[in-house]
Structure formats: structure tokens, C-alpha cells
Chains A and B, each alone.
Chain A
């Protein structure tokens, strides 16, 4: 019963490089959410995806950030041309198929991105 897996756990990039963060949801979960946590703050919703569909990306910056959840393979959060302000912990969560109301989200261990 593997939980939500994220890799890498730590990622260091120089300004201007690209960062790719991966998330494999729990078995049987078809909904994936990405959150960002800046130091001393709570988690902030970024994007909600189902297989091959972006459902809500209202929390994601319009430029340089993109997310996908392909039919096969993990969900990817991609940050192009990273800047120092992108340094944060990025958490992925998954949930089973929504059946009305709120469904508990299970979180991965996070990827800590450091931009030099």
C-alpha cells in the first residue's frame, strides 16, 4: 500500500534552469493536487488534475508554471526559468474519485526546491 510518492525529494537549480517535479498518486486515486508551501506559511493550492485533464489551475502562476497528468505515468509540475522566489516545498496530494462533498486528500512527502 504505497502512499503518494514524490521525487526528487530535494532539487537544486540555478536561476534560469527548469525544474521538473514528479508525483505518483496512491493506487486507485485518479485526482491529483499540487500545493506550494513558502517558509513560515501554510500550503497554497496550485492546481487540480485528473488523468489527461487540468480541472482547476487557478492557484498556479500564469507564466513559467505548467502541470500535467498523462494517461500513463506520474503527474509532472514543471517550472521553467526558475527564480529565487520559486524556492519552496511543493506537495502533491491525491484523492479517490469524488462522490460529492469533500474527499480526503493524501499527501506525499514533498519536493524541496532550492534556486541558487
Chain B
């Protein structure tokens, strides 16, 4: 029972272009969504989050969009940089401590 799904295991993007990572969820009780970035042999690092009362949150090069009716969120990175190459996890919460994670998308930024 996967409540949070990231259907693309990997994504390759040219440096300087936009990277779009997608995430779908099934639980309508989720009210907080987060994106984490993970480098090999390191723990996940918080990137950006969005509450269900919003449909967009922006922080520098990173923007997260939430479409509640479609139960879909996406992370946009623009412009993409080589240091953005990592695994990106989408996670969701019902407003408490439990995070439900997607399987991750490996982003590769090509020079």
C-alpha cells in the first residue's frame, strides 16, 4: 500500500534547464508535504515543504506546487546545477511526526 508514489526512478536534465520531479499521493488526510534531497552515504536533507492550504511555495531556485484535486505535487528546480544531482524524496504527513516517503527519484544533471 504505497500512499506516496514517485513513478520516475531517475531523471536526466541538462545543466541550466528546469528539473521537474513529480510525486502522487492517495491519502486525502495528508496536510503537509516535504521534499528531501539525499546524497550517497548521507542522510536526507530537508529542502522545501508546503502546507495543504497553499498551492505553491518558493525558495530560491526551488518551487513546490501542490494540486490537491489531483493529489499531485511537483518540485521545480531552475536553473539546474551539477550540485543538484542527488536522490530526491517526496514525503507526506497528516500533520504529525510520521513521515510517509516515496521511493525517490535520482536526478542527474548533465554538464
Give chain A's interface residues, CB within 8 Å of chain B.
4, 6, 9, 31, 33, 35, 40-45, 48, 56, 59, 91, 93, 95, 98, 101-110
A56 touches B101 (CB 8 A): no
Select which of B89, B97, B100, B104 is within 8 A of A103 by beta carbon: B97
B95 touches A109 (CB 8 A): no
- Which of B13-21, B38-46, B73-81 sits within the interface? B38-46
Classify chain B: how many residues form its interface, as a range.
Answer: 20 to 34
B96 touches A102 (CB 8 A): yes
Give chain B's interface residues, CB within 8 Å of chain A.
4, 6, 9, 32, 36, 41-46, 49, 89, 91, 93, 95-104
**Given A48-B97, A102-B96, CB of A42 within 8 Å of CB of B89:** yes
A43 touches B99 (CB 8 A): yes
* Residue numbers in A under 8 Å from B101 (CB-CB): 35, 42-44
**Given A101-B32, A102-B32, CB of A45 within 8 Å of CB of B99:** yes
Q: Which of B43, B89, B95, B97 has the most CB of A within 10 A?
A: B43
Total CB contacts across the A-B interface at under 8 A: 63
Select which of B36, B41, B99 is within 8 A of A109 by beta carbon: B41
B89 touches A43 (CB 8 A): yes
A61 CA to B101 CA, complexed, in Å: 18
* Residue numbers in B under 8 Å from A9 (CB-CB): 41
A102 touches B89 (CB 8 A): no
Tell me the minimal C-beta distance from B90 to chain A in angstroms.
8
Listed from nearest, the 4 A-B pairs whose CB atoms lie closest are A42-B101, A107-B43, A43-B101, A102-B32
Tell me the minimal C-beta distance from A34 to chain B in angstroms.
12
* Residue numbers in B under 8 Å from A105 (CB-CB): 46, 97, 99
A41 CA to B102 CA, complexed, in Å: 8
